[in-house]
Amino acid sequence: METASLLTIRSAADLLEADPPRPSFILEPILSPGTIALIYGQPGVGKSFLALGLALAAAGAGRMLGWTAARPHKVLYLDGEMRPHQVAARLRLFGPLPPSLQIWLATEQGGPRLDLSNVDGLVRLVRSWGDPDLLVIDSLSSLVGGATGRDPERWSEMRYFLGLQQRHGRAVILVHHANRDGAMRGTSRRADAVDLIMALRRPRDWQPADGARFELRLEKPRDLTGPQLIPIEAQLCTGPGGIAEWQWHRGGSADLRRAAPLLQQGMSAEAVAKAIGVSPRKAYRLKRQARELGWIGRRSDYGSDGSNYSRCVEG
């Protein structure tokens, strides 16, 4: 009979005296090696655009919504639903693509459909993937269990797989749907297996013409504190050259979003009140909020004011 190895147990004092290495990031500060993140929201809200944007930023040493990749990373994006021409159309929106981003499409595969809720599917994936730093699975409903007629709540194999990725320092982003009430669809056990949950909601003043515009809230922000927890409102729009760019800001209402660019230009609170149609008292409150968030004098903290954009992208 094989003898089990002994557990490694350390004193609390040893742990405090150790000099742990500074955390590395794939996308600072939200995605580290081994981070398991989950994006969820209702159909059409912009989940896949957000996931693709994160993948592009990580692969191309870019920025997105204030998050930064210091160097290019190997990224594999699994798409379980869209056809090649649809994915290609989305990729064209972002201009030149980083060479370290790879795409797998379920719709152009032959043979058995990939099912990541069983060992065979997971083995097929690992043998094919080329050892990425970041794996994006879009979406759970199409690639885990339910897409092949299996129990959509079958989760044990997938959870074991995610644990392995954490131990090997590979980050994973899962894309999932919300139910009719806006809560995450399916078993709550999925939330237990992840480090970071990004919930997408449409703003109250959303209109169909706004396209991929959403409010992003971090519902399970492990190791994140302070301003990073302030909700983000983001919208994907294209300019005259057809290249897409995220317009975004942290926190606040639609009034704050409209007031911020004017305050950035140096307008007084009274002038802003007249320009956006609010009371002077509210304008002063918006100015105080903008200053507390660090928006005034730091344009990049809330993104583009949108004045050069002609069309918003559908979710």
* Average pLDDT over every residue of 224-251: 86
pTM of the shown model: 0.80
* Beta-sheet pairing, 134-138 with 171-177: parallel
Over the stretch 136-175, which tens digit does the pLDDT of each residue have?
Answer: 999 998 998 754 445 555 677 888 899 999 999 999 999 9
Asked if the 23-237 domain carries CATH number 3.40.50.11440, the reply is no
* 3-state SS class at 235: strand
Ordered by start, the domain boundaries in the chain are 23-237
Is pLDDT of 38 > 90? yes
Over the stretch 93-109, which tens digit does the pLDDT of each residue have?
Answer: 999 999 999 999 999 98
As a whole number of angstroms, the distance between CA 27 and CA 218 comes to 15
Over the stretch 264-292, which tens digit does the pLDDT of each residue have?
Answer: 888 999 999 999 888 999 899 888 877 87
**80, 143 contact by CB (below 8 A):** yes
